[in-house]
Amino acid sequence: MASAGSGSVQAAQRENRVARVLTEVFAPAHFVIGLPLAVGAVTSGWAGLGWGALAAGLCGGVPAGVIAAGVRSGRFGNRHITDRAQRPWLIGVIVALVVAALVLLALLGAPRVMVVCVAIMLATLAVVGPITLAWKISFHTAVPAGSVVMLAHMLPAVPVYVVGVLLVALIGWSRVVIGDHTPAQTAAGAVAGGAATWVTLALFL
């Protein structure tokens, strides 16, 4: 019995370690940085990568720096902002940065697809942000779900959705295993992020 119990504990610990690695590797900031680069590369080659880098820096890089500084100063408990009470201020900062990126890209004459890519980030925040004030919906699944919908719009949809759904499900599993979200919160995040992206694409692209 002791041996079986020990094996069960070790298995749970391994599962937790895997879940934490997935949570770190597939953090929302990584998708926010990676998506504009992918969109730019797919649609406009090297020139698109330049536009993507600008969008990624403003929408992903700067917020990541703000979060890192907040963690060091004690404003945030960790870089995933698991304490919902700490999210409103950060969401306000990110919204301001995304709006600034949207205006700048439009003024500089960025390709429409890049402007829409940033608009999708704003739409996701507009949907998920208010919800998180009352209920801890998962940004960890909302952002990658939106990224999957965006990429499926530009690349062969079936393989993108097959891989994307599996990836989002895996991310959701990791968030539940480490105790940061319930299954309902991860599922709601995925639906919200995917829906916000789909509607934005339907309206503007």
- 3 domain-assigned: no
Query: pLDDT over 70 for what percent of the chain?
Result: 98
- 58 domain-assigned: yes
Mean pLDDT across the chain? 93
166 pLDDT higher than 60: yes
- 110 domain-assigned: yes
Cite the beta strand spans of 19-131 per DSSP E. Answer: none
pTM, rounded to two decimals: 0.90
- 159 domain-assigned: yes
3 pLDDT higher than 70: no
User: In this structure, what are the phi and psi dihedrals at residue 61, rounded to the nearest 5 degrees?
Assistant: -65, -50
Which of these, 158, 156, 151, lies nearest to 193 by C-alpha position?
151
pLDDT tens track for 100-111: 999 999 999 999
How many separate domains does the chain show?
1
- 8 domain-assigned: no
pLDDT value at residue 1:
47
- 81 domain-assigned: yes
Residue type, 46: W
Which DSSP string corresponds to 64-110?
A: HHHHHHHHHHTSSSSTT--SGGGHHHHHHHHHHHHHHHHHHHHHHT-
Rounded-to-integer distance, Cα 125 and Cα 111, Å: 22
Average of pLDDT values for 111-119? 96
Structural domain boundaries enclosing 132: 20-204
Q: Identify the residue whose tokens are 């060091």.
A: 72
- 13 domain-assigned: no
Q: Is 12 helix (H, G, I), strand (E, B) or coil?
A: helix
- 15 domain-assigned: no
pLDDT tens track for 36-79: 999 999 999 999 999 999 999 999 999 889 888 988 998 888 88
Tokens of 113: 């697809």
pLDDT tens track for 182-195: 999 999 999 999 99
2 Cβ contact list (under 8 Å, min separation 6): none
Tokens of 28: 């929302």
Q: What length does the chain have?
A: 205
